[in-house]
Amino acid sequence: MKHLRVATLALAALLPIGAQAALKPGDAAPEFKTTAALAGSPFDFDLAEALKKGPVVLYFFPKAFTQGCTIEANAFAEASPKFAALGARVIGISHDDIDTLKRFSTEACRDQFAVGSDPRGATIKAYDAASLLPGVANRISYVIGQDGKVVFTHQGSDPIRHVDETLKAVRDLAPAKR
């Protein structure tokens, strides 16, 4: 079963994502609320409330505890102090259930940022992050400004690049805070 899951995720990484039309800069970011976990503790995440405190880096990932998703979570964890210094909050979202994400928030996210559960895929679909495979999101990242508009979008299979590119976009948003 584990080999089938790895093969399925590897196939998903090879599938073209060009068919998905990601939200573009200037588009209104769809509002959402979700059950999320931070440092192993569940809480209710509300995008509108988070935006009152600063920009939000919203990234979608295929599946908790897979190799690429763990690498991405580790990289976002390492960069979390930089995002925080710029006033930005990071949240990752997947189809995983909240119990899985409570563990992932501690083990892979290193208690540094929240991960949200979207088992029905409503938020994933609203942000054009749905994959051709059921229960798996595409790897796509957004930076959402405090005005609720998308200011940056990045799609691609390289998990480290998502962190680098979103951090650059947040820095560009707040040049006075550098």
pLDDT for 21 equals 66
> Does the active-site annotation cover 69?
yes
Among 3.40.50.970, 3.40.30.10, 3.30.200.20, 3.40.50.720, name the CATH number for the domain at 2-177.
Answer: 3.40.30.10
Whether 4 has a pLDDT exceeding 90, the answer reads: no
Whether 16 has a pLDDT exceeding 50, the answer reads: no
pLDDT for 174 equals 74
pLDDT in tens, 31-87: 999 999 999 999 999 999 999 999 999 999 999 999 999 999 999 999 999 999 999
Q: How far apart are CA 61 and CA 124, in angstroms?
A: 10
Are the beta carbons of 75 and 144 closer than 8 angstroms? no
Model pTM score: 0.87
pLDDT for 94 equals 98
Tokens of 115: 């991960």
In terms of phi and psi (left: phi > 0; alpha: psi -120 to 50; beta: otherwise), the region of 111 is left
Count of all residues that appear for the chain in the document: 178
Q: How far apart are CA 65 and CA 33, in angstroms?
A: 23
Which of 22, 69, 86, 101 does the annotation list as catalytic? 69
- In the chain, the amino acid numbered 50 is A
Helix residue ranges, H only, 35-177: 47-51, 67-85, 98-107, 122-126, 159-173
Are the beta carbons of 130 and 137 closer than 8 angstroms? yes
Considering the chain, what percentage of its residues have pLDDT values greater than 70? 86
pLDDT in tens, 114-135: 999 999 999 999 999 999 999 9
DSSP character at residue 144? E
